[in-house]
Amino acid sequence: MAGFSLLARVASHPAGAQDAAMGETTPPPEILDGLRRMGLLGAATPAGAPLTGGVSSDIWRIDLPQGPVCVKRALARLRVAADWRAPVGRNLYEARWMRRAAASVPGAAPALLGQDAESGSLAMQFLPAAEYRLWKTELRDGRADPCFAGAVAQSLVRIHAATAADPSVAAEFPTDTIFYDIRLEPYLVATARRHPDRADALLALVAATQGNKRALVHGDVSPKNILVGPAGPVFLDAECAWWGDPAFDLAFCLNHLLLKCLWTPAARERFLACFDALVNGYLSGVDWEAPAALEGRAARLLPGLFLARVDGKSPAEYITEDAGRDRVRRVARALLADPPDRLSQVRDAWREDLTT
């Protein structure tokens, strides 16, 4: 385990929290018991602070004598308007993803300090906000850097390539049901119910994603789960970790760069430049299959994920106007009816609609 010389962060936790919900208080007994079983806590009861912003876990800063740590405890029912449930055992697989990612790309994940299956908790390095900025906040403020997007791509594809080269990793992630419950059902299946005339296309994307098991997938490669660290990107919140189709991670991240054009319109061209940097940086590192084959799956999946962020169970919170939602629907539905083979086709269709 990594030592506590690496300080923790309180400003943004693995689910994207920004501030402590309240002042110092006593953490829940389940979390404290989990820390004791991890061997990180003695008899004394430490202070801590809950962190806001997560929908899938309780997140706490715990002030141990050795230094602060971040502790996550998975929730059975996610904090969203829809009835969205997921097995709490996903916490174990997040810990495993963190170990595998760090082995593939040192520094790509916070140092894992311990994991307790009984409480569904894990403890990790706590990174200071002054040194680790949240990429989502950077993008919201229009600071869209294609070089950083390229670094995200390079780290992500290195993790995929390292695990694709070692198929034995698959046995550590028997998470087909979890991935379906957290990703495929609330995004693609739920959206199919809202768009019955595109249901066949959306359900075909589910089948294609399930049928291409090639590497270790993070499952939530979103700017809210990526820190701009001093040595490069740091990936958080791998609760959806799955041995499956790496095209999902690529499409999932690209989706956010397209959607951000509605959040901060003045930075639209910079977001699209980040889109291109992410595509080019990622595809240049694909060595486990033909890059064009992976790009085709990602290009066809992207419109489904795009539509899901307005009509699935987890709508993007910053798309608040009907005009924006209608733009997403118009572009996504057209692409679902005539599926693209290249990611540039999705980008161009979106850019064209934004300029009309």
User: pLDDT tens, 102-124?
Assistant: 999 999 999 999 988 888 888 99
Rounded to an integer, the average pLDDT of 172-197 is: 96
**CATH architecture of structural domain 133-354:** Alpha-Beta Complex (3.90)
Per-residue pLDDT band for 83 (boundaries 50, 70, 90) equals very low
- Give residue 30's pLDDT: 84
Does residue 10 carry a pLDDT above 60? no
**Exposed/middle/buried for residue 13 (C-beta within 10 Å: 0-12, 13-18, 19+):** buried
Q: Which two tokens stand for residue 168?
A: 């034995």
Return the CATH number of 29-124, one of 3.50.50.60, 3.40.50.300, 3.30.200.20, 3.40.50.11610: 3.30.200.20
- Give residue 13's pLDDT: 38
pTM: 0.88
**How many residues in the chain?**
356
User: Distance between CA 224 and CA 137 in Å, rounded?
Assistant: 8
Q: Which H or E run includes 293?
A: helix 291-311
- Give residue 118's pLDDT: 82
**Exposed/middle/buried for residue 185 (C-beta within 10 Å: 0-12, 13-18, 19+):** middle
Are 29-124 and 133-354 the same fold in CATH? no
Residue pair 144/267 in contact (Cβ under 8 Å)? The answer is: yes
* Domain chopping of the chain, boundaries: 29-124, 133-354
Lowest mean pLDDT among 62-76, 81-95, 178-192: 81-95
Rounded to an integer, the average pLDDT of 24-39 is: 84
